């Protein structure tokens, strides 16, 4: 299959924090891949901005190294990075000082699409927004891109939104959640709203329950200091899992347009019921003979922060009343996998008798690894011996179905950055969505803080605390096995 790449308009993209980890691992290699795909017009310009003292040539060396290390396997046409580097420059700027802004102003071409990526700590967002304004760099057409975390609770999220709103309208603010840039996540909308097959069954009458899992094999790594003030709820559930929940549960928007989609997502968040304490399981990975546990990793022997969280949720609306949603996420688990699993109800009556066993249709939407979908369908086991039923997966791995180009084009960051240049906010979170998610999250955290809840230790390389399995077993259900 030949992919269709539509070049975007000429643009200037300024990356504040252009020397940081996110720029190095994701943003710069992603831009290079778009250049290779022919999406970046010759006039496009990428400008790194940070405090480190460097000139254009020094920054190009930095970008070349980032590409070599993180851009992944490259096509033959793309072995030569110099063409891309010609479009890269650097300005030394302190977000909290005055030096460098005039030079940046000279470089940014106001008549082109221009976007500022705030790839810095959120505490600097206000300083950068203010200086962009003061130096005449923030026009009505400017766009800003901001990264999570969007606050640590409702109050701080409101404050952050208010800070940005001083100089930028909501239509200029692109809040990135890279989960929304994944091919499968968008395909989820195509599958739901582009086929007649699923939507009539997509409700409490036919869906027994839905599971959303984001499991990691790694621990907190070098982010221990930050993570210990955050935990799985703030780091993963309030944003990534919540966004997946919204897309799986929302009503069909009238159009695939930014506010139509985001209005529907917001309704889902607002319809979430408060979570009962016994529907929450928090865990911390335990130490082993050879590996430190969570508390050693974060260097806090009395930490009560969760590195694992499982929750049972209900959405109070006509579509979902009675269908539970089970969410789980954790570190140091046995597989790195992200998936949404829709488990349909049993057929209302079995004509095949008790020997045929119990069979269910299950739609599994895999975000990683091997993005794709499988639908388990019940069929007759081949061969003689009567009507024995078996569930077989109809497997749609995108690379198999559409060719390797489909897989190559799926890096979430590249797609989202190109959406910023196109001015399409559909896959970005709106300020009220973020605030609504915190409004739901805050009382849950306040509840376990007030109860002095202590997370349950769990084995590294397993499936999380035993209580998380019990959360399902009590309801006669079980988690889909974590598989790499
Ligand atoms: P990082 O590696 O610590 O990089 C921070 C960047 O900010 C550096 O380029 C630093 O360069 C620059 N910087 C710091 N203070 C500055 C100042 N006063 N003025 C101008 N530039 C300044 O952080 P990161 O991991 O790239 O993360 C950036 C943002 O993305 C954070 O908000 C983070 O939470 C978020 N995020 C990161 C990831 C990830 O995978 N890394 C994932 C999701 C979200 P100088 O020291 O040269 O100034």
pLDDT (tens digit, 9 = 90+) per residue, 53-75?
999 999 999 999 999 999 887 77
In a domain, 456, yes or no: yes
Same domain, yes or no: 191 and 306: yes
Listed range (210-224, 242-256, 268-282, 377-391) with the worst mean pLDDT: 377-391
Percent of the chain scoring above 90 in pLDDT: 79
Catalytic residues: 240
Using the CB atoms, write b or e for 245-260: b if 16+ within 10 Å. Answer: bbbbbbeebeeeebee
Torsion sign across C-alpha atoms 226, 232, 237, 241 = positive
Distance 121 CA to ligand 1 centre (A): 6
Higher pLDDT, 390 or 218: 218
| CA-closest residue to ligand 1 atom 32 | 121
What contacts 362, CB < 8 A, 6 or more positions away?
341, 342, 343, 344, 374, 375, 376, 391, 480
State the virtual CA torsion across 414, 56, 117, 64 in degrees, nearest 10. 30
Domain end position, chosen among 147, 166, 198: 147
Mean residue pLDDT of the chain comes to: 93
List pLDDT tens digits, range 136-145.
999 899 999 9
Same domain, yes or no: 126 and 210: no
Q: Do the strands 456-458 and 308-313 form a parallel or antiparallel pair, or are they unpaired? A: unpaired
Alpha helices in 205-328 (DSSP H): 224-227, 231-232, 242-249, 258-270, 294-297
Same domain, yes or no: 192 and 143: no
In a domain, 159, yes or no: no
* 148 CA closest ligand 1 atom index: 44
Ligand 1 site residues (CB inside 6 A) read 16-23, 50-52, 93-96, 119-122, 124, 147-149
Distance from first CA to last CA of the chain, Å, rounded? Answer: 27
Same domain, yes or no: 265 and 135: no
Same domain, yes or no: 188 and 89: no
β-bridge partners, 341: 211, 364
- For a substitution probing ligand 1, which of 17, 18, 126 has the most ligand atoms within 8 Å of its CB? 17
| CA-closest residue to ligand 1 atom 5 | 20
Please give the average per-residue pLDDT across 17-45, as a whole number: 94
- What's the pLDDT score for residue 409? 52
Distance 21 CA to ligand 1 centre (A): 7
315 token code pair? 């959405």
State the virtual CA torsion across 371, 376, 377, 382 in degrees, nearest 10. 100
Listed range (172-181, 191-200, 240-249, 370-379) with the worst mean pLDDT: 370-379
- What is residue 360's three-state secondary structure? coil
In a domain, 50, yes or no: yes
- If phi > 0 it is left, if psi is from -120 to 50 it is alpha, else beta; for residue 369 that is beta
The band of 323, judged by pLDDT with boundaries at 50, 70 and 90, is very high
CB atoms within 10 A of CB 199: 13
Please give the average per-residue pLDDT across 120-128, as a whole number: 94
Domain end position, chosen among 147, 171, 188: 147
- For a substitution probing ligand 1, which of 30, 95, 120 has the most ligand atoms within 8 Å of its CB? 120
In a domain, 478, yes or no: no
Please give the average per-residue pLDDT across 206-224, as a whole number: 95
| CA-closest residue to ligand 1 atom 4 | 20
167 token code pair? 């100089």
List pLDDT tens digits, range 363-374.
999 988 888 889
Please give the average per-residue pLDDT across 279-306, as a whole number: 96
- What's the pLDDT score for residue 1? 47
- What's the pLDDT score for residue 398? 66
Domain end position, chosen among 132, 147, 162: 147
In a domain, 69, yes or no: yes
* pLDDT at residue 405 greater than cutoff 70: no
Same domain, yes or no: 141 and 218: no
Query: Do 60 and 88 contact (CB within 8 A), yes or no?
Result: yes
Please give the average per-residue pLDDT across 108-124, as a whole number: 95
Please give the average per-residue pLDDT across 282-289, as a whole number: 96
The band of 406, judged by pLDDT with boundaries at 50, 70 and 90, is low
Give long-range contacts, CB 8 A cutoff, 24+ apart: 54-58: 54/19, 54/90, 54/92, 55/90, 56/88, 56/89, 56/90, 58/90
Q: At 120, which CATH number?
A: 3.40.50.720
Same domain, yes or no: 341 and 223: yes
Distance 198 CA to ligand 1 centre (A): 42
In a domain, 286, yes or no: yes
DSSP character at residue 230: T
Same domain, yes or no: 122 and 55: yes
Listed range (231-245, 374-388, 397-411) with the worst mean pLDDT: 397-411
Distance 93 CA to ligand 1 centre (A): 13
DSSP secondary structure string, 149-187? ---SSHHHHHHHHHHHHTT--GGGEEE--GGGGSHHHHH
Q: How far apart are CA 309 and CA 103, in angstroms?
A: 47
Q: At 370, which CATH number?
A: 3.30.360.10
Same domain, yes or no: 259 and 132: no
| CA-closest residue to ligand 1 atom 25 | 21
Q: Report in angstroms the alpha-carbon separations of 165 from 205, 333, 366.
A: 42, 40, 36
Query: Do 95 and 124 contact (CB within 8 A), yes or no?
Result: yes
Distance 462 CA to ligand 1 centre (A): 32
- Domain range spanning residue 219? 180-410+431-473
| CA-closest residue to ligand 1 atom 10 | 17
* pLDDT at residue 318 greater than cutoff 70: yes
Distance 22 CA to ligand 1 centre (A): 7
Q: How far apart are CA 272 and CA 285, in angstroms?
A: 29
The model carries a pTM of: 0.94
Q: Do the strands 308-313 and 280-285 form a parallel or antiparallel pair, or are they unpaired? A: antiparallel
* 26 CA closest ligand 1 atom index: 40
In a domain, 5, yes or no: no
| CA-closest residue to ligand 1 atom 7 | 17
The total domain count for the chain is: 2
Count of residues making up the chain? 484
CB-side exposure of 394: number of CA atoms within 13 Å? 7
* 17 CA closest ligand 1 atom index: 9
CB atoms within 10 A of CB 324: 21
Q: How far apart are CA 419 and CA 422, in angstroms?
A: 5
The helix (H) or strand (E) run that includes residue 70 is helix 56-70
Same domain, yes or no: 136 and 184: no
Same domain, yes or no: 130 and 194: no
Name residue, tokens 């907190």: 220
- For a substitution probing ligand 1, which of 14, 18, 19, 22 has the most ligand atoms within 8 Å of its CB? 22
In a domain, 392, yes or no: yes
* pLDDT at residue 3 greater than cutoff 60: no
* pLDDT at residue 2 greater than cutoff 70: no
List pLDDT tens digits, range 334-346.
999 999 999 999 9
- What's the pLDDT score for residue 408? 55
DSSP character at residue 236: I
Same domain, yes or no: 374 and 239: yes
């Amino acid at each position: 299959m030949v992919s269709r790449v539509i070049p975007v308009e000429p643009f200037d993209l300024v990356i504040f924090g252009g020397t940081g980890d996110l720029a190095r691992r994701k943003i710069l290699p992603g831009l290079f891949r778009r250049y290779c795909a022919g999406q970046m017009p010759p006039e496009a310009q990428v400008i790194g901005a940070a405090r480190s003292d460097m000139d254009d040539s020094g920054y190009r060396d930095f970008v070349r190294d980032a590409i070599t290390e993180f851009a992944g396997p490259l096509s033959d046409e793309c072995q030569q990075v110099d063409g891309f580097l010609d479009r890269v420059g650097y300005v030394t700027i302190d977000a909290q000082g005055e030096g460098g802004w005039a030079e940046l102003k000279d470089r940014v071409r106001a008549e082109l699409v221009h976007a500022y990526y705030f790839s810095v700590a959120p505490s600097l967002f206000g300083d950068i927004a203010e200086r962009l304004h003061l130096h005449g760099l923030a026009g009505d057409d400017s766009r800003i891109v901001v990264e999570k975390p969007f606050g640590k609770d409702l109050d701080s999220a409101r404050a952050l939104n208010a800070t940005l709103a001083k100089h930028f309208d909501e239509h200029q603010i692109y809040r990135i959640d890279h989960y929304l840039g994944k091919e499968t996540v968008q395909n989820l909308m195509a599958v739901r709203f582009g086929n007649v097959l699923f939507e009539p069954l997509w409700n409490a009458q036919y869906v027994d329950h839905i599971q959303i899992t984001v499991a990691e094999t790694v621990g907190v790594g070098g982010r221990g200091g930050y993570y210990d003030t955050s935990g799985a709820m703030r780091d993963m559930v309030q944003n990534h899992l919540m966004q997946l929940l919204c897309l799986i549960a929302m009503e069909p928007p009238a159009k695939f347009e930014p506010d139509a989609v985001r209005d529907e997502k917001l309704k889902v968040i607002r319809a979430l019921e408060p979570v009962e304490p016994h529907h929450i399981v928090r865990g911390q990975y335990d130490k082993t003979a050879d590996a430190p546990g969570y508390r050693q990793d974060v260097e806090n022997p009395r930490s009560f922060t969760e590195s694992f969280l499982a929750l049972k949720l209900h959405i109070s609306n006509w579509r979902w009343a009675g269908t539970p949603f089970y969410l789980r996420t954790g570190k140091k688990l046995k597989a790195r996998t992200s998936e949404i699993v829709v488990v349909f109800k049993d057929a209302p009556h079995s004509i095949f008798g008790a020997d045929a066993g119990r069979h269910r249709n299950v739609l599994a939407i895999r975000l990683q690894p091997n993005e794709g979908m499988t639908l388990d369908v019940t069929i007759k086991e081949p061969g003689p011996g009567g009507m024995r039923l078996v569930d077989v997966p109809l497997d749609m791995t995108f690379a198999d179905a559409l060719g390797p180009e489909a897989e190559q084009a799926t890096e979430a960051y590249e797609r989202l950055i190109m959406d910023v240049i196109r001015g399409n906010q559909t896959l970005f979170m709106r300020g009220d969505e973020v605030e609504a998610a915190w409004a739901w999250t805050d009382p849950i955290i306040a509840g376990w803080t007030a109860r002095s809840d202590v997370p349950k230790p769990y084995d590294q390389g397993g499936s999380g605390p035993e209580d998380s399995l019990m959360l399902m077993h009590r309801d006669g259900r079980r988690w889909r096995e974590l598989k790499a």
